[in-house]
A and B are shown apart, each in its own frame.
Chain A
Amino acid sequence: MAAPLLSVRDLVVEFPTRRGVLRALDKVSFDIAEGEVLGMVGESGAGKSLTGAAIIGLLEPPGRIAGGEIWLRGERIDNFSPEKMRRIRGRRIGMVFQDPLTSLNPLYTVAQQLIETIRTHMEVSEKEARTRAVALLDRVGIPAAARRIDDYPHHFSGGMRQRVVIALALAAEPELVIADEPTTALDVSVQAQIIDVLKEICAERGASVMLITHDMGVIAETADRVAVLYAGRMAEIGPVRDVIQAAEHPYTIGLMGSIPTLTQTADRLTQIPGAMPRLNAIPRGCAFNPRCKDVYNRCLVERPELIAREGGRHVACWLYEPVKEAFNV
């Protein structure tokens, strides 16, 4: 297997507060391969967006990376200086935010924002940058791009603005695009189009995508692999089809059971009892133990690490511990 494009190892993100340090991400590890689309799911507050922010180096203070490593194409980037990290943003890692209505500066035309971004990272003339910008807008599906490019953001509808945001994120041809809930704020009717545009362009350019969402439908259609976060910890990661059809972690099983699908013939949707713990009240052992129907003694005291399963899957659950060790207990 080729070296991954992005490799996150034991990432810890903490927020010091006046009532102690909150650990928002706790030893999260995963890889993204070249050209791969990794879906990242979890409830709000599970740490999906934080993972994205940590990778691109935009954690909001007082949040900070308190441990672990982030590698981009064999280079460790989590300890880069702010200036070095800035050069990576946009150029090597692009980011698409949730709300297209607020992601664009209202006081600048689309052309100004695109050209500024292109010229920040590439040695091109104003004119050349503009040509590229028009081509990009055209590619993301803005009709009459050459004319609309001089409009201000408020002249565009929400879906169109998200296309502009995608164009901006991809303007400097990054290798990895982090899309943080790119369709949540949009009308259902345009969500699929936006996802398609994003996926197509990234595939075209060979860029990898980290798609953060809570919409399993989007993951199922778009992602190659899926990672499930729970309370700042990785619960399960594996190929999309496997995880959806045969989830292993009790949390993922519950999550899948709560989604209506056409392929499965469940009589009724299930619901996971309880709620995700707050960061200041994460239980000892497995974070999911208060809600887990398969909980046993060990889950209450010892935290499960990711356990490798067949087919490149990993799951953090004591139920899947290799048998010989289980005998030793």
Chain B
Amino acid sequence: MIAFILRRLVQSVIVMLAVALVSFALFRFVGDPIASMVGQETTLAERAELRDALGLNDPFVIQFWNFIARAASGDFGISYRLQQPVMELILSRLPATLELALVSGILAFVFGVGFGVYTALRRGNWVSGTIMTVSLIGVSLPTFLIGVLLIWVFAVELQWLPSFGRGDTVYIGDWWRTGLLTPSGRASLILPAITLGLYQMTLIMRLVRAEMLEVLRTDYIKFARARGLSNRAVHFGHALKNTLVPVITITGLQMGSIIAFSIITETVFQWPGVGALFINSVRFVDVPVMAAYLMLIALVFVVINLIVDLLYYAVDPRLRVDRANARH
């Protein structure tokens, strides 16, 4: 167990280092960091001095090390465009993104597993057929188009729900601004959450369905039926549990994608989150923000991967090899 976690941790650190390297290269070699920090009237001598003071003349490895050290303490420099510390910008926008991602993640998982199980068990009836066809449209529809169409129907035509922003927000603690506690905040969350969750839901649904069909064909399900277990016990006790083992992995990774896809949803709904910040940084080549986002998203993925591995380990007894009483 310990060895397994350690190995995973080492892998995670390597991934993080690789991303940090890209991030650093971006930071260091795109444009001239000095030019973006000083005014037009700064003399060449002053620039050279600043260059020295910032350590830009140091050997590459040392610069990289310093970059990592600063990144680890949350210092990603100042945004070129907004002239604010990058970390501050990201932290102030993180709650918006996390709330959106969490709500859509739950939506996607609950409905994805539900529909997946239903369509696997009721193969061939018209409800399943409809769900499957709609899900195919869901997979093919680009996220942004879903968002635009939802705005059109529910915000422009029906005028039921707001089309942009977070609505009213209140602070929980010092910096967490939440929209979940106000009616307009919750109303504002509905369309973005559906937009963000729909694609993931269809993916989870199709995955659950495929896995479930696979599991229903296995010998142990046949044997469970041959023992006279009820359909309920066979489907939900045996088949679903075995289905969920691979599904958990992929669903966990989907949660990562949800944070990534929030870039799109946030742009469509002008949701003041990290994703919208990132898109603007790409548009304006705001390198510090891009570099920081890169690191942040990598960190999110690495952490999610670790959690997924641990979950997997908890669900599947076959992986618990340390219980060394396996014998022949």
> Which residues of A are in contact with B by a Cβ distance under 8 Å?
56, 58, 86-91, 94-95, 97, 99, 102-109, 116-117, 120-121, 151-152, 154-155, 157, 165, 168-169, 171-172
Contacts and interface: CB of A to CB of B under 8 A. Distances in A.
A97 B326 contact: no
A84 B224 CA distance: 16
B218 A90 contact: no
Given A58-B226, A116-B237, A120-B230, A103 B326 contact: no
A87 B227 CA distance: 9
Give 4 closest A-B pairs by Cβ, nearest first. A90-B228, A89-B228, A95-B226, A102-B219
12 contacts: A56-B226, A89-B225, A94-B227, A99-B219, A102-B218, A103-B223, A106-B242, A106-B316, A120-B233, A151-B325, A154-B318, A155-B323
Contacts of A157: 327-328
Contact of A58 (B218, B225, B238): B225
Contacts of A107: 241-242, 245, 315-317
Contact of B220 (A94, A102, A109): A102
A103 B219 CA distance: 5
B220 A89 contact: no
B229 A104 contact: no
A197 to B, nearest CB: 18
Nearest to A165: B223
B222 interface: yes
Residue of A88, A90, A121 most packed against chain B (CB within 10 A): A90
B229 A120 contact: yes
A155 B317 CA distance: 10
B220 A103 contact: yes
B317 A97 contact: no
Interface string B180-200: 000000000000000000000
Interface residues of B, number: 28
A105 B220 contact: yes
Interface string B294-328: 00000000000000000000011110000101111
A151 B230 CA distance: 24
A294 B218 CA distance: 43
Contacts of A152: 317-318
Nearest to B124: A61
Nearest to A171: B227
Given A116-B229, A121-B228, A58 B316 contact: no
A133 to B, nearest CB: 13
Nearest to A99: B219
A273 B222 CA distance: 36
A89 B227 contact: yes
Contacts of A151: 325
A300 B328 CA distance: 54
B219 A90 contact: no
Contacts of A99: 219
Contacts of B325: 151, 155
Contact of B229 (A88, A109, A117): A117
A172 B228 CA distance: 10
Nearest to B320: A152
A208 B326 CA distance: 34
A109 B325 CA distance: 14
B242 A120 contact: no
Contacts of B225: 58, 86, 89
Interface string B244-266: 01000000000000000000000
A132 to B, nearest CB: 14
A109 B227 CA distance: 16
A97 B241 contact: no
Most chain A CB neighbours (cut-off 10 Å) among B226, B242, B316, B326? B226
A90 B226 contact: yes
A43 to B, nearest CB: 22
Nearest to A90: B228
Given A155-B323, A157-B328, 13 more contacts: A58-B222, A86-B229, A89-B227, A89-B228, A94-B227, A95-B227, A97-B219, A99-B219, A105-B241, A116-B229, A116-B233, A152-B317, A154-B317
Given A105-B238, A154-B318, A155-B327, A88 B228 contact: yes
Nearest to A101: B219
B146 to A, nearest CB: 36
Contacts of B218: 102
